[in-house]
């Protein structure tokens, strides 16, 4: 009886030793394996259950389609959110090739994100709700029909690089391209505003809006937009010449010295120094030259048809808000004529401090800031509308001038001659 009990006890001890040794061996193996994996990639042992997802909205509504009508430029606010309870990686792109005549890109600015590179970008998780990125996508449609751009999103684990699908394309920074009126209204800037109180003209206001335009070697400011035909009224930033408005005791624009010089198509006149004016400007623009002692909107008593004119006193005052004459963007610190007669002897003009006055006679000599109406079909293809980088127009954006003769260029353009410090010159006129 004792022998049997002894053997039973020995068997239990043997089995216990075997189990302990087995656990030690297995535990050592897994410890080594986990240490090896962690050493190679610390996140490799993370375990995620469920499916990662994303939220995409366009202008506040769920969706992934950007629709733009023919001849239109639109900006869309696109919000990409992480609805997961953990950090996840996201990629944002458009699907397929853009239609002919359609461009799309992202806009930079305060509070806006820049679309990531192909590997994606991580969005943090904040408790049960994840973070969001806000993008501004600008689409310009210069095709003959409406167009759509389809957005795509990828989502994955935060430590896994993403790869674009074969039909996916990353957005590049948007260029300001499209009809002049549309681009200006869309990119007026924080120091500018759009005033739509006048049904005949949509005015650009502010201290320094993004409305600089380079055309025919001259720097211009966009003043207003015709809501009927989308043409844009431009005035030169600086005085182009200094002349009398008209002879003594004659304040009419028709037949004046001013009208003659502005619309002279020879090399001595202003119109003759514009690049292909028939292509760029309205050659039969209508100008309100009605006499008035007020700065409010004048009656349409004296209307003149010409290619080139001047701003009337009302159009000037609409460029600023309230009575802050000196803060309006049209105040260039110089004396210059308006188009408006004050009475039979005097013409409204602008002082150096921006104040308007009707005190000076028509035969006095003041600066001239010519005005034209840019055709609605003219396109902006470069620039951002600032003084340092004015908008450039399609057909007037020369890039290679090698071998070009000076007599083929335009009055107002700049050239560099020589290697000394003061080597910048400006073409003043052409001599026959």
The structural domains of the chain, with segments of one domain joined by +, span 55-174, 179-374
| Residue matched to tokens 């007037």 | 396
At residue 95, the 3 state secondary structure works out as strand
Give the CA distances from residue 103 to residues 137, 164, 176, 182, in Å, rounded to whole numbers and listed in that order.
10, 20, 10, 15
Strands 147-157 and 65-68: antiparallel
Helical (H) or strand (E) element with 225: strand 218-225
Mean pLDDT throughout 119-137?
A: 82
227: left (phi over 0), alpha (psi -120 to 50) or beta: alpha
At residue 391, the 3 state secondary structure works out as strand
pLDDT given for residue 178 in this prediction = 82
The mean predicted confidence, pLDDT, of the chain is 84
**Backbone phi and psi for residue 429, each to the nearest 5 degrees, phi listed first:** -160, 170
Mean pLDDT throughout 137-142?
A: 88
**Residue 15, pLDDT above cutoff 80:** no
pLDDT given for residue 232 in this prediction = 98
Mean pLDDT throughout 164-170?
A: 94
**Backbone phi and psi for residue 89, each to the nearest 5 degrees, phi listed first:** -105, 140
**Residue 262, pLDDT above cutoff 50:** yes
Residue 94 in contact with residue 165, Cβ under 8 Å? no
pLDDT given for residue 72 in this prediction = 81
pLDDT given for residue 142 in this prediction = 80
Tell me which of 127-141, 222-236, 323-337 is least confident: 127-141
CATH, range 55-174: 2.60.40
Residue 384 in contact with residue 204, Cβ under 8 Å? no
| 416: confidence class by pLDDT, cuts 50, 70, 90 | low
At residue 359, the 3 state secondary structure works out as strand
Show the tokens assigned to 263.
């619309």
pLDDT in tens, 341-358: 999 999 999 999 999 999
Q: How many CB atoms lie within 10 A of CB 334?
A: 14
Show the tokens assigned to 66.
């950007």
Tell me which of 7-21, 119-133, 392-406, 415-429 is least confident: 7-21
Say what percent of the chain tops pLDDT 90. Answer: 61
The pTM of the whole model exceeds 0.85: no
| 314: confidence class by pLDDT, cuts 50, 70, 90 | very high
pLDDT in tens, 184-201: 998 898 899 999 999 999
DSSP class of residue 112?
P
pLDDT given for residue 148 in this prediction = 95
Q: Collect all residues with Cβ–Cβ distance below 8 Å to 312 and sequence separation of at least 6.
A: 287, 288, 289, 290, 298, 338, 339, 340, 348
pLDDT given for residue 49 in this prediction = 42
* Residue of 188, 125, 200, 113 lying closest to 157 (CA atoms): 125
**Residue 41, pLDDT above cutoff 50:** no
**Residue 146, pLDDT above cutoff 60:** yes
Residue 320 in contact with residue 310, Cβ under 8 Å? no
């Amino acid at each position: 009886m004792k022998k049997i009990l002894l053997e039973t006890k020995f068997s239990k001890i043997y089995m216990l030793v075997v189990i302990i040794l087995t656990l030690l061996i297995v535990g050592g193996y897994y410890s080594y394996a986990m240490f090896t994996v962690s050493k190679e990639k610390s996140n490799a042992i993370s375990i995620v259950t469920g499916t990662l997802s994303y939220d995409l909205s366009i202008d506040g509504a769920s969706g992934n389609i950007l629709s733009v009508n023919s001849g239109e430029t639109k900006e869309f606010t696109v919000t990409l959110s992480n609805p997961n309870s953990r950090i996840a990686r996201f990629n944002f792109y458009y699907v397929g090739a853009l239609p002919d005549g359609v461009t799309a890109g992202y806009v930079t600015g305060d509070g806006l994100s820049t679309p990531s590179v192909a590997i994606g970008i991580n969005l943090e998780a904040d408790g049960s709700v994840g973070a969001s990125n806000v993008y501004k996508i600008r689409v310009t449609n210069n095709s003959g029909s409406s167009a759509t751009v389809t957005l795509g999103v990828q989502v994955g684990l935060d430590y896994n690089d993403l790869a674009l699908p074969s039909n996916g394309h990353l957005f590049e920074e948007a260029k300001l391209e499209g009809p002049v009126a549309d681009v200006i209204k869309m990119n007026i800037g924080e120091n500018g505003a759009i005033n739509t109180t006048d049904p005949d003209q949509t005015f650009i206001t502010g201290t320094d809006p993004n409305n600089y335009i380079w055309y025919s070697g001259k720097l211009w400011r966009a003043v207003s937009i015709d809501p009927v035909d989308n043409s844009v009224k431009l005035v030169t930033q600086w005085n182009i010449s200094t002349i009398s408005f008209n002879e003594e005791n004659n304040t009419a624009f028709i037949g004046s010295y001013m009208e003659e010089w502005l619309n002279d198509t020879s090399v001595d006149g202003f119109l003759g120094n514009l690049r292909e004016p028939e292509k760029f400007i309205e050659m039969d623009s209508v100008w309100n030259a009605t006499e008035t002692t007020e700065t409010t909107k004048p009656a349409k008593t004296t209307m003149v048809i010409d290619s080139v004119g001047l701003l009337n006193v009302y159009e000037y005052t609409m460029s600023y808000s309230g009575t802050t004459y000196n803060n309006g963007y049209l105040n260039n610190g110089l004396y210059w004529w308006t188009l408006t007669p004050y009475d039979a002897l005097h013409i409204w003009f602008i002082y150096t401090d921006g104040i308007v006055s009707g005190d000076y006679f028509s035969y006095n000599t003041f600066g001239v800031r010519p005005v034209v109406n840019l055709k609605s079909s003219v396109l902006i293809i470069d620039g951002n509308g600032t003084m340092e980088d004015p908008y450039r127009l399609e057909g007037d954006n020369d890039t290679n001038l090698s071998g070009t003769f000076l007599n083929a260029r335009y009055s107002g353009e700049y050239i560099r001659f020589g290697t000394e410090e003061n080597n910048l010159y400006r073409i003043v006129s052409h001599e026959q």
